[in-house]
Structure 1
Amino acid sequence: MNRRYVIIDVETTGNAPKKGDQIIQIGAAVVQNDEVIETYASNVRPESEIPLFIQELTGITEEDVADAPLFQEIAPDVLQLLDGACFVAHNAAFDLRFLNQELEAAGYTSFQGPVIDTVECARILFPTAEGYRLNMLAENIAIDHDRPHQADSDAYVTAELWIEMRKKMYQLPLVTLQQLEKLLAGFESDLEPLVSDLIRKKLTGWRQNDDKAYDIYRQLALKKTDTSVVEHEEQVDFHAAHFFGDQSSLAANVSSFEYRPAQVDMAERVYQSFQTNEHLLIEAGTGTGKTLGYLYPSAVHAKESKEPVVIATETITLQEQMMYQDLPLLQSAFPVPVKSALLKGRNHYLCLQKLEQKLTFPLEHSAEDILALAQIVIWLTETDYGDVEELNLPGGPGRFWDEVKSEPGSCSGPECPWFFRCFYQRARERAKKADLIVTNHALLLTDLTEEHQVLPAYAYAVIDEAHHLEESASRFFGRDIDYQAFKRWLHRLEPEQADGFASAVFEALRQDGAVDQDWLKNRQKGAEKLDQEWNELFRLLHDFCMKKSTRKHSDIGRRSVPFDASNEPLHVWQPIQELVHRLDLHVREETEAYEKAVAAAVKQHRLYTHVSNLVKDLMELQKTLHALILEKEPDHISWMEAESRGAKNAVALFERPVEVADLLADTFFRKKESVVLTSATMTAKDSFHYIEKQLGLSDFDPDCLKLPSPFAYEEQTRLYVPVDMPGIKDVEEAEFIERTAEFIHLAAEAVNGRMLVLFTSFDMLKKTYDILKVYAEEGPYVPVGQGVTSGSRAKLLKTFKQHERGILLGTSTFWEGVDLPGEYVTGLLIVRLPFSPPNDPVMEARAAEIKAAGGHPFRELSLPQAILRFRQGFGRLIRRADDFGVVFVLDHRITTARYGRDFLRSLSNVSVKAATTDEVLHDAEDFLHKHRQS
């Protein structure tokens, strides 16, 4: 534990030492006994020029290194530092590769001692960190890092980080260290001496009291949780004006709090709807404070009635914000404790039994899986909830999480040794005792039809982000399957897979006398047969999709084809039907073989339960496939999507109800006393009629309230329409895209800040991005494209924010739910009005129904939906009272078409200017300049 660690950081001319890149600066910090006892720093003169971008990144210029020593001159000093020490660096492979090349070039032997990578160690020890860059980690643990990309500063900060990580390791309980020790062989870092030494010391009694802070059970250490509940029977009176008033406790607790009459109005109407048992629709513009506006009356009603109020949102982001920001804020001013609980879908929670199995059986794991296991072992000592959203798993919550998540089939109830520590069961227990239950739309809907309800009984609810409820209900009442779904499950049951799960099952069954060698061979053949048939089926479906459609789904760039099993040509559909029937037979044979083997086993092995559940899931997948291809559900639309340039079996099948209004009315709204639905965008053409009809609320005569945003849009923003921009139908697509890219390029100069560009077509986005990349070689901005630049939405936003002149190009998911306040975005550009693509299968079916009933599909469906989407996109710009910015709409229909005025009327007091490109850009530049000067 007291060994010598030398933390090294190097700055270089590039990232490829084999191509001649060299060290230009080296910094070191020596750590012993958890203290920095020595530091070292030197500039180094390279044999080539320092690239300009490296000079800008590091601040190290040619002048700085002109009189610096060559590396060979300082090599003895570096070697003396490293003698007998452990090499430590943040991304150690990079620094060590350069260091060893320079040592060898100077005639010395490369460093061959133990190496520790603080990136890898941070991933293990800080499993919930948002990111693992040095500056982010330093900020998280309050280490001052004022000179990033300077070797001496980076080395010193890394040394402080390493000391903090060592201290965290000292605090880990013995069983956690022992679990970690089993996984060490899979790490790049040489942690074994440190972990082994800590285990030896713990076994002799060192810091044993630390372990009492944990719940030690079955060789795992969990954070102890307080499950006691203190009941408060005090009467709570509703008084919104007082609660939100200037002299309230809320104002005293929030320095930026300001009285908002709309927030008081909202709270009063929500409370009234609960008292009178009426449904209520509220459009609350950005900045009205709607979350607290409904949380306060919900909490009062829950206390008065002694019944819970369910709060359902669509996005995880809003759920997290509510639990960790809004509810603590509410509690700070509420007269008695408010019991709140967050309840998500089961697969968000870790299954401790599955984790125990993964740690118990000596299977072959990938390096990524080993890192994930180590993270979770540490995370168990910290988490109250076991929710995957807390974790920063390598590669995200993909295949690995599928293998350790909680599932209905994986739970054996109270018979499970982990039942009373189960994170999902704990979440349900918290919900049973809560006044306010925060959940998502999907779980709210799941609870309507499940035999065993997940949510406690409730009669009052608030649905936030309510404009998503129709889409959520459509997904819930529909079904889908894709090529990868079956492959993922087949992967787990194939005998020869690298994760070794099936091998462990087969060995247990063989030792138990339940199977023989012939059975094992037959399972191998069965898995191969399933694989062949599944591949062939989806190849036929892909061919069918390509031949039947020449149109692309404009948002996602896929071919989209409706189909009806009862009406497809027999010569085309019959081979597909036959394959499904053959798969039915093969799946039945295989599942029966596994079930008989498990039933014949004498011992009750934990693995067998897991196998049985996997088999059930496999059968469920086949059942879904059978229904989608061979059956036609009344009042539902079926379609398939395929990538025209993707794999020849990359197909997804979907089925959705044409309408969800009656389903929601009958299964939800009719059964609840009062449901409040709210969003920043609920009206089209200043009316709630569209959303009432779509959600099945028309027969309930709901109360409606529209609360305008308190923002002064007439002063904070301008909307511009360049009249010389051609319509997409007036020119060839290539010319329209060229003109769009040219306008974005020019607008970037005028905005002189970050811009968000919203598309309705991924294909158009990609082609525009390709042109902008060429423009960007001459300009100061950096384009970032959804689906083009690698990474999730969160990663794209992070990349975008790092550039002062970034341009973010996004499609569907960026039209809403993206919060970019202040100068994160000062320019918003909408390429086309967001009408749904004409070949969207669900929209086509709904339009046909409206037309058959004598209605007008465009006015009743397409237009109101597009207006809501447009308002959501517009809402990305102004997020705070002091925000400002400009909006460009390149679709001239907004000023020339009769329905264009409906889009403009949906915005609040926004000044609109339609003029030439030069005029709108000049005006926008002046507007932004004045705001930046004020």
Structure 2
Amino acid sequence: MVATELAISALVASHAGVWIADADGRVRGVGRGEAIARAGDSPHLLLNAPVTASRLGLGELSGLDLLELFAFLCPARFCVPTPRGLAAALGLPEPAGDADAAFLQRAAGALLALAARKDWPERHGAWTILQSLARQRWAWAPHLLRLIAKPEKPERHVFQSLPQWEEAAPRPAPRVVTLPAGEVAAQLARLVGAGAEQRDGQRAYAAAVSAAFEPRQRGDGPHMVLAEAGTGIGKTLGYLAPASLWADMAGGAVWVATFTKALQRQLDSETARVWPDATERRAKVVVRKGRENYLCLLNLEDAVQGGFGGRAAVFARLAERWAEYSRDGDMVGGDLPGWLPALFGRMSFAGLTDRRGECIYAACPHYRSCFIERATRASAQADLVIANHALVMINAARGRAEGAGLNRIIFDEGHHLFDAADATFAVALTGREAVELKNWLLGPERAAGRGRRRGLSARLADAISYDDEAARAVERITEAARALPSEAWLQRVAADAGDGALEALFAAVRAQVLARAPPEDADGGYGLETQVAEVLPRLVEAAGDASAALGRMAGPMAQLEARLALLLDDPPDWLDGQGRARVEGARAGLVLRGALLGAWQQLLGRLGGPADADFIDWLELARADGRLLDVGVQRRWLDPMRPFAGAVLGQAHGVVVTSATLRARPDALADDWRDADARTGAAHLPVPPKHFAATSPFDYAAQARVLIVTDVKPRDIAALAHAYRALIEAAGGGTLGLFTAIARLRAVHARLADPLARAGLPLYAQHVDPIDTGTLVDIFRAEPGASLLGTDALRDGVDVPGESLRQVIMEGVPWPRRTVLHAARRLADGGNVFDDRVTMDRLAQAFGRLIRRADDRGHFVLLGPAVPSRLLGAFPAGVPIDRVTLDQAVAMVKAGINASGQPSGDMPSLGRSTSPGAT
């Protein structure tokens, strides 16, 4: 690629300082005031405008953002959104640090040179979309219009160029086969590769997992395998070997479910070992997520035809550009750059996805090109479907799994299975949920009278025009649905008022919660909750009225569903394929929402009646930064694995649940699987599961060291900030800092970011930087000198091997938060023992971020003067554990770890060493 410099001033702002490169390339450091004034007078080249604005203390900043240009010219390509990352993506020499503001000019020149090339791979569609971007006054349009010539042939619009899915015959049920042990071993050897090291633990793991693929012998339970495999065993290829072999021999599909999107991406890349040919792999492997993750083509069409304005309209055009080159239309964790929506604001992104209840299925003109429908149909023919825990559970509960159903399932990250089931089988009667129901029934209020209609009456206009009974049912539903919350409902509820039965209910819930909250909490900005006990008469009365209002909807909805069922059983001549699909979609939606109404009515009956021992109920106000976000009544199963076992495990023939931390503690006895059985649903099956455990092949005693710092006061922000700074500087960056509270994370970051940056150690933070979590991890992985602060989302599922992560710091013991839900489960499940189990699992997961491969080394630092010794069993056996002062910890981190596991140099072991498992 020929690179030229662009004669436009460039602006770089970081925690280390601010620099401007003038049009002639001369760079100088400036103050924030001058930078703001210069940027306000004329547009500058920027890299990630929201981040630059935050470094300058501004709410927003306009300019020529190189990331926007990259997204236009290189749609669906990966790029870490930093100068170094952009240099790698463009094949340019790395910039010389933050002060090299002229790099932005060189990068802009390289990108514009790409647009001038005849062999530019993503040329198709660029000229057409650029004309629209020019009308929207996109900053880069004038520069690109000089380079991108009008094509000789008219470019096909994205809605015409996307491939269309075809209907296929239903896949037959999988054949009954038995996997020969030798074939499983041979398949694993092929996947690992001829020159790779053969690992006994991995071979034993693959053999153990193979039991889940044996023919089912009884109808009341699957073959279930609980497989705990320490980090480094190679469990991904270990279960892909028997899974791919069974799929080929049986002609069936294996569903692999993860809890995090990061593992989904990793799994998707690993399948190249099974199916090296890219074309074959696209047919064999499908990545599935919930509908809200995918680009909705009808929403996109609305947006580009005038539904969006301002910056949102620019994002819509860039999304249109991306859609032509995207693998699957996945906007969350797929090939849409995670940093792109953040450049334009969250609402721009949300307006393009399929928000729950909006889809009109076959009535949509883009139905045959729909990314979601294409993925659904591809799943029915695939050998391997990579999904998430929630989607598998929802499909199983609704009986909607594609193909021959959920015959064989592998739950990776199985330690999260309980939490996923807890959320999936929950019931939430909240304002937001009620508004979504109203939107599905009547259509969004703001869309009334304009744009495409989505209400039930409009979607079924043709189907009910010949059926008076169905038409009357729709009229009754429409009238009853007016009791659901309407626009501005939150303001009315916050004023202790309500328009309709449901708003009156939420106002009564709010009043009850505030009446029982401590004064300091009631006036604060955080969420509040209270048990459903001794409910005030006002709430009981409001619950009765709300239940009656829901009942007036439920009756005609059931009647309409029955009429639609008759229509489908004996379809008239005028009901074509699209009409039938539309009716089927409406009927399925009525069944789903009818069940939801029933669950809501049961929950409302609890407000004035006796408790149900199977459930935990509470009232909740969701608040953030002083703003009321939602109000409602929540219900969870005391043991969510009961419905999980019935809905998911009961119908499967084979299930694998695997993780590095399935059992309560790594040093548990080999036969102590009681907790794992309970938290995976196996305890509810009549057939006992098979258990397998393989310890990690890593030499943790030589590779890692746990330091418990005893002289840092908990919750003391100044002390925490001092400790984090000293330890990060001692390690030279490469630190993952974990917090149990967002407020403390922000406070510590505010004290550290500038001094660390001036020392050449960039610091990034979740909940501070306007960057999505996945992109933050990408940046952290790509910059060995950087450090990253975060909360729960970074404690689990983050895979950063090598030099980029060599120290983990936790600001304290991650005890469970005291909530109504936690208190009920704690009471039912051992009290302090329950707390210890949850805490040890969190510690084990956090420690698991540190050592990801055989040559990793590092320190795990826990800031806490009183860490109970009983919790130390969370760490792998043999890891040295020292209780030390901060000064001693800093000295040990500076010394590093040598191959013997001791601090390098002459630094001795300090403090009192405690062996894991000590009491």
How far apart are the structure 2 equivalents of 1:267 and 1:9?
A: 58
The structure-2 alpha-carbon separation of the partners of 1:89 and 1:847, relative to structure 1 and needing over 3 Å to count, comes to closer
Larger RCO, structures 1/2 (Cα 8 Å, 6+ apart)? 2
The structure-2 alpha-carbon separation of the partners of 1:444 and 1:290, relative to structure 1 and needing over 3 Å to count, comes to same
- 5+ residue gaps in structure 1? 16-20, 28-40, 58-70, 72-86, 95-114, 590-603, 851-855
Q: Is the 8 A contact 1:831 1:890 kept in 2?
A: yes
The structure-2 alpha-carbon separation of the partners of 1:441 and 1:710, relative to structure 1 and needing over 3 Å to count, comes to same
Which has the higher mean CA deviation after the structures are superposed, 633-642 or 425-434?
A: 633-642
How far apart are the structure 2 equivalents of 1:534 and 1:614?
A: 32
Structure 2 match to 1:422: 370
Deviation at 1:350? 2.9
Structure 1 match to 2:231: 286
How far apart are the structure 2 equivalents of 1:225 and 1:314?
A: 28
Higher alpha-carbon Rg: 1
How far apart are the structure 1 equivalents of 2:855 and 2:493?
A: 57
Structure 2 match to 1:889: 862
Deviation at 1:812? 1.8
* Identical columns (%): 21
Say what the alpha-carbon RMSD is for the aligned residues.
5.4
1:903 counterpart (856, 868, 872): 872
How far apart are the structure 1 equivalents of 2:718 and 2:709?
A: 15
Which has the higher mean CA deviation after the structures are superposed, 618-627 or 402-411?
A: 618-627
How far apart are the structure 1 equivalents of 2:360 and 2:439?
A: 24
Q: Is the 8 A contact 2:664 2:841 kept in 1?
A: yes
User: 1:422-448 deviations in whole A, cap 9, x for unaligned?
Assistant: 322221222222222221111110122
Structure 1 residue matching 2:627: 3-state secondary structure: coil
1:468 counterpart (408, 416, 433): 416
Which has the higher mean CA deviation after the structures are superposed, 413-422 or 808-817?
A: 413-422
Equivalent residues in 2 for 1:252-267, closer than 5 Å: 252=194, 257-267=196-206
How far apart are the structure 1 equivalents of 2:153 and 2:162?
A: 17
1:394 counterpart (325, 331, 341): 341
User: 1:96-149 deviations in whole A, cap 9, x for unaligned?
Assistant: xxxxxxxxxxxxxxxxxxx98755443334343445556544533435555676
Structure 2 match to 1:436: 384
Structure 2 match to 1:351: 296
How far apart are the structure 1 equivalents of 2:555 and 2:641?
A: 37
Structure 2 match to 1:221: 161
Q: Is the 8 A contact 1:125 1:168 kept in 2?
A: no
How far apart are the structure 2 equivalents of 1:780 and 1:147?
A: 12
> Structure 2 length as normaliser, TM-score?
0.72
User: 1:587-627 deviations in whole A, cap 9, x for unaligned?
Assistant: 999xxxxxxxxxxxxxx999xx9999999899999988776
Q: Is the 8 A contact 1:121 1:189 kept in 2?
A: no
How far apart are the structure 1 equivalents of 2:143 and 2:691?
A: 67
1:663 counterpart (639, 643, 653): 643
Structure 1 match to 2:395: 447
Structure 2 residue matching 1:667: 3-state secondary structure: helix
Matched, 1:375 2:318: yes
Structure 2 match to 1:251: 193
> Structure 1 length as normaliser, TM-score?
0.71
Deviation at 1:491? 9.7
Q: Is the 8 A contact 1:562 1:637 kept in 2?
A: no
How far apart are the structure 1 equivalents of 2:137 and 2:551?
A: 43
Structure 2 residue matching 1:879: 3-state secondary structure: coil
Deviation at 1:421? 2.6
Structure 2 match to 1:75: none
Q: Is the 8 A contact 1:755 1:827 kept in 2?
A: yes
Equivalent residues in 2 for 1:283-362, closer than 5 Å: 283-323=228-268, 325-332=269-276, 339-359=284-304, 362=305
User: 1:387-434 deviations in whole A, cap 9, x for unaligned?
Assistant: 223223423895445444347855555565433333222212222222
User: 1:253-300 deviations in whole A, cap 9, x for unaligned?
Assistant: x7xx33221111111111234226531111111111110000011111
How far apart are the structure 1 equivalents of 2:5 and 2:761?
A: 40
The structure-2 alpha-carbon separation of the partners of 1:189 and 1:177, relative to structure 1 and needing over 3 Å to count, comes to same
Structure 1 residue matching 2:678: 3-state secondary structure: helix
2:771 counterpart (779, 786, 791): 791
Q: Is the 8 A contact 1:145 1:157 kept in 2?
A: no
Deviation at 1:677? 0.7
How far apart are the structure 2 equivalents of 1:153 and 1:914?
A: 46
Which has the higher mean CA deviation after the structures are superposed, 754-763 or 305-314?
A: 754-763
User: 1:136-166 deviations in whole A, cap 9, x for unaligned?
Assistant: 4453343555567657654344223113134
Equivalent residues in 2 for 1:150-229, closer than 5 Å: 150=100, 154-167=104-117, 177-178=127-128, 181-182=131-132, 184-189=134-139, 191=141, 201-202=150-151, 206=152, 220-222=160-162
Structure 2 residue matching 1:405: 3-state secondary structure: coil
The structure-2 alpha-carbon separation of the partners of 1:769 and 1:194, relative to structure 1 and needing over 3 Å to count, comes to closer
Structure 2 match to 1:142: 91
Structure 2 match to 1:271: 210
Structure 1 match to 2:796: 816
The structure-2 alpha-carbon separation of the partners of 1:357 and 1:621, relative to structure 1 and needing over 3 Å to count, comes to farther
Q: Is the 8 A contact 1:550 1:559 kept in 2?
A: no
Q: Is the 8 A contact 2:847 2:875 kept in 1?
A: no
Which has the higher mean CA deviation after the structures are superposed, 913-922 or 528-537?
A: 528-537
Q: Which amino acid aligns with 1:288?
A: I
Which has the higher mean CA deviation after the structures are superposed, 660-669 or 631-640?
A: 631-640
Structure 1 match to 2:699: 712
Deviation at 1:309? 1.8
How far apart are the structure 2 equivalents of 1:147 and 1:780?
A: 12
2:515 counterpart (547, 559, 567): 547
The structure-2 alpha-carbon separation of the partners of 1:792 and 1:576, relative to structure 1 and needing over 3 Å to count, comes to farther
How far apart are the structure 2 equivalents of 1:562 and 1:754?
A: 42
Q: Which amino acid aligns with 1:696?
A: G
Q: Is the 8 A contact 1:557 1:763 kept in 2?
A: no
Q: Is the 8 A contact 2:757 2:763 kept in 1?
A: no
Q: Is the 8 A contact 2:5 2:105 kept in 1?
A: no
Structure 1 match to 2:688: 701
Q: Is the 8 A contact 1:560 1:642 kept in 2?
A: yes
The structure-2 alpha-carbon separation of the partners of 1:672 and 1:737, relative to structure 1 and needing over 3 Å to count, comes to same
How far apart are the structure 1 equivalents of 2:454 and 2:842?
A: 56
Q: Is the 8 A contact 1:118 1:162 kept in 2?
A: no
Q: Is the 8 A contact 1:223 1:381 kept in 2?
A: no
Q: Which amino acid aligns with 1:8?
A: A
Which has the higher mean CA deviation after the structures are superposed, 750-759 or 409-418?
A: 409-418
Structure 1 residue matching 2:324: 3-state secondary structure: coil
Structure 1 match to 2:76: 128
Q: Is the 8 A contact 2:737 2:808 kept in 1?
A: yes
User: 1:442-464 deviations in whole A, cap 9, x for unaligned?
Assistant: 11101222154346424222110
Structure 2 match to 1:690: 675
How far apart are the structure 1 equivalents of 2:635 and 2:676?
A: 22
Q: Is the 8 A contact 2:21 2:101 kept in 1?
A: no
The structure-2 alpha-carbon separation of the partners of 1:917 and 1:163, relative to structure 1 and needing over 3 Å to count, comes to closer
Number of aligned positions between the proteins: 798
Q: Is the 8 A contact 1:530 1:583 kept in 2?
A: no
Q: Is the 8 A contact 2:256 2:410 kept in 1?
A: yes
How far apart are the structure 2 equivalents of 1:798 and 1:450?
A: 36
